[in-house]
C-alpha cells in the first residue's frame, strides 16, 4: 500500500484541483477519490456544490447553470488555494460548447486559475483519439439526449447510436445499479461507433469502464474520468493510472 506521507514533506506539495459539483450528485466525489488513490502523494481534489436537482429541457434547468453561482463557487475554491478549476458537469453538452467556453473565460478572469469543464474535456479527448463517430450512453430523457446529439454534431462528432434511460431526477440517476449501467453501454453500442461516450457525471459508469472496454472492444470515455484527467492535467499532474480504462492508462486509441 502506498504511504502518501512517505512522499510528502507537506500538504503544500500537493497539486490541488477544485471541482464545481452539482449538489445532488453522489457519484463523482466518491469515484474521484477512488481514482486519485494512486496519485495521493501528488494531487488532491476539493469540491464546491452548486444547486442542481433535475436535468431536462425546460425553463428551469438552464437557470441551474447560470454563470454567477458557478463563479461564486470558483471563488470559494480559489480561497484554498488551488491550482485549477473544473466544472464537473455536462450541461455544456446540451447548452452548447460556447456556454462552457465563456464559463471558463470568466472563471479564469475571476480567479487567475486555468479552467475547463466535462464537455470541453470530452472534445479534447475526441481530438486526441481522432474520433468522429460515437455511441452515446446516457441516463437522460429522449429530448435531452437528442439535443446532446445535435450539439455534438455541430462540433463535428456524429452520434451514430445511443441508449438513454428516461431519467431526469438526479437522485435517480445516481442510484442506478452497475448492471443498469452495463446494459445501457451494451445497448448504446454500434459497429459504426469508434468509441462510447458516457455523458453524465452522476452516472457511475467509471466503475465498469475497464471491464466493458474488454467486452465491447472499443474505448469508453466516461464523464467522471475525463473530467478527473483534465483537472489533474491543468494542475500539472499527468494522471496515468491502471484499472480505469484506456483513456486513463494514456492509450486512448480507437479499436
* Total of domains in the chain: 2
Longest dimension (CA), the chain: 52
Q: Is 73 inside a domain boundary?
A: yes
pLDDT above 80 (res 135): yes
Check residues 147 and 13 and name the one with the higher pLDDT.
147
137 and 70 belong to one structural domain: no
Considering the chain, what is the average pLDDT of its residues?
93
In tens, the pLDDT along 28-59 reads: 999 999 999 999 999 999 999 999 988 878 77
Mean of pLDDT values over 156-177: 95
208 and 183 belong to one structural domain: yes
Write the DSSP symbol of residue 141: -
171 and 237 belong to one structural domain: no
Confidence of residue 3 (pLDDT cuts 50, 70, 90): low
101 and 187 belong to one structural domain: no
Task: Measure the CA–CA gap between 119 and 65, rounded to whole angstroms.
Answer: 14
Give the domain CATH number at 174: 3.40.50.12500
pLDDT above 50 (res 24): yes
Q: Is 164 inside a domain boundary?
A: yes
Give me the sheet containing 133-138, strands edge to edge.
158-164, 133-138, 195-198, 220-222
**Residue 89: domain span:** 4-120+224-249
Q: Is 254 inside a domain boundary?
A: no
Q: What pLDDT, on the 0 to 100 scale, is given for residue 63?
A: 82
Q: Is 255 inside a domain boundary?
A: no
pLDDT above 60 (res 174): yes
145 and 97 belong to one structural domain: no
217 and 228 belong to one structural domain: no
pLDDT above 70 (res 254): no
Q: What pLDDT, on the 0 to 100 scale, is given for residue 255?
A: 45
Query: To the nearest whole percent, how much of the chain has pLDDT over 90?
Result: 85
Give me the sheet containing 43-50, strands edge to edge.
43-50, 15-22, 84-87, 115-117
Give the domain CATH number at 74: 3.40.50.1860
229 and 218 belong to one structural domain: no
Alpha helices in the chain (DSSP H): 4-7, 28-36, 60-63, 67-78, 92-95, 97-111, 118-129, 142-154, 170-174, 178-188, 209-216, 223-234, 246-249
Q: What pLDDT, on the 0 to 100 scale, is given for residue 107?
A: 98
60 and 13 belong to one structural domain: yes
Mean of pLDDT values over 68-88: 97
69 and 56 belong to one structural domain: yes
pLDDT above 60 (res 4): no
177 and 244 belong to one structural domain: no
237 and 158 belong to one structural domain: no
Mean of pLDDT values over 167-179: 93
111 and 237 belong to one structural domain: yes
Query: To the nearest whole percent, how much of the chain has pLDDT over 70?
Result: 94
Alpha-carbon distances of 81 from 74, 115, 149, 182, 223, rounded to whole Å: 11, 14, 37, 38, 25
Q: Do residues 196 and 225 touch, judged by C-beta distance below 8 A?
A: no
Q: Do residues 194 and 254 touch, judged by C-beta distance below 8 A?
A: yes
Mean of pLDDT values over 207-226: 97
Amino acid at each position: 500500500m502506498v504511504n502518501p506521507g512517505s512522499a510528502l514533506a507537506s500538504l503544500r506539495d500537493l497539486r490541488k484541483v477544485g471541482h464545481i459539483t452539482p449538489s445532488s450528485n453522489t457519484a463523482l466525489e466518491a469515484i474521484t477519490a477512488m481514482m486519485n488513490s494512486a496519485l495521493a502523494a501528488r494531487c488532491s481534489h476539493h469540491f464546491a456544490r452548486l444547486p442542481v436537482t433535475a436535468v431536462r429541457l425546460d425553463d428551469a434547468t438552464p437557470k441551474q447553470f447560470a454563470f454567477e453561482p458557478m463563479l461564486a463557487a470558483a471563488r470559494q475554491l480559489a480561497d484554498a488555494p488551488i491550482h485549477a478549476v473544473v466544472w464537473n458537469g455536462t450541461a455544456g453538452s446540451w447548452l452548447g460548447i460556447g456556454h462552457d467556453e465563456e464559463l471558463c473565460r470568466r472563471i479564469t478572469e475571476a480567479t487567475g486559475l486555468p479552467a475547463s469543464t466535462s464537455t470541453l474535456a470530452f472534445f479534447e479527448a475526441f481530438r486526441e483519439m481522432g474520433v468522429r463517430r460515437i455511441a452515446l450512453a446516457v441516463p437522460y430523457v429522449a429530448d435531452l439526449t437528442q439535443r446532446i446529439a445535435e450539439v455534438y454534431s455541430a462540433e463535428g462528432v456524429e452520434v451514430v447510436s445511443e441508449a438513454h434511460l428516461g431519467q431526469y431526477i438526479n437522485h435517480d440517476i445516481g442510484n442506478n445499479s452497475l448492471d443498469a449501467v452495463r446494459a445501457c453501454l451494451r445497448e448504446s453500442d454500434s459497429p459504426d461507433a469508434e468509441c462510447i461516450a458516457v455523458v453524465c457525471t452522476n452516472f457511475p459508469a467509471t466503475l465498469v469502464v475497464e471491464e466493458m472496454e474488454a467486452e465491447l472492444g472499443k474505448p469508453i470515455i466516461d464523464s467522471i474520468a475525463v473530467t478527473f484527467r483534465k483537472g489533474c492535467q491543468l494542475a500539472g499532474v499527468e494522471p496515468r493510472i491502471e484499472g480505469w480504462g484506456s483513456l486513463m492508462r494514456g492509450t486512448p486509441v480507437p479499436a
